[in-house]
Amino acid sequence: LRAVAPPMYLAKDEKLPLALSLSFGLQHMLAMCVGIATSGGMLHANEACWSFRYDSELCDRQSFLVSCSWLASGLLTIIQVFRLRIVGTPYSIGTGLVSVMGTSFTFLPMGQAMITNYIEDAKATGDPRCLPNMPYKDTDTLVTDCQGVGVEAYGKFLGTAAVASIFEILIALTFNKKNRSREN
């Protein structure tokens, strides 16, 4: 039997060979793009794209939602990496560390549940936006299309997340003041 050479060991601050750096960078970029696209638009919009729970408006906006996720991720990454100081305060926005900001899968079940419940409730209560016998995704299959119901639910989900983020910021500032008073 032939002895197998051990894998290459790289120290913490050692420079990688160029080919290895490029392949690792490409792998990381592809993994980030998929994660951002999946949670940001694909999975939320998919909740409204089933034949039994259909909102043509939200389904048609799926690529737009993915693009918005990538744009927001890019802008927030720039803010996070460059650490913007808030004028006139000791505070700043961002860490100054190289880190990619992206969408989170944490809120995904809540967003999906909101979209699902809104469409199901609209169908059950006879919402005028739910039109029966509409074509399903350019096929001959006819379904009930609750046009705009999923879009409304997704908007309310984003609004709820925005209000909750303000609460998180207030908590962070409160604990920051308490920690600074302990240091003095």
Give the pLDDT band (50/70/90) at residue 46: confident
Helix (H, G, I), strand (E, B) or coil at 43: helix
Q: How far apart are CA 122 and CA 128, in angstroms?
A: 8
Q: What is the pLDDT of residues 85-108, one digit of tens each?
A: 889 988 888 888 878 888 778 888
Joined tokens for residue 40: 């940001």
Say what percent of the chain tops pLDDT 90. Answer: 24
Vertex 155 angle, CA 151 and 158, to 5°: 140
Mean pLDDT of 135-151: 90
Q: Is-above-0.95 flag for pTM?
A: no
Write the DSSP assignment of 159-180 as a string of letters. Answer: HHHHHHHHHHHHHHHHHHHHHH
Q: Tell me the torsion sign for CA atoms 101, 107, 113, 114.
A: negative
In the predicted model, is pLDDT for residue 184 greater than 70?
A: no
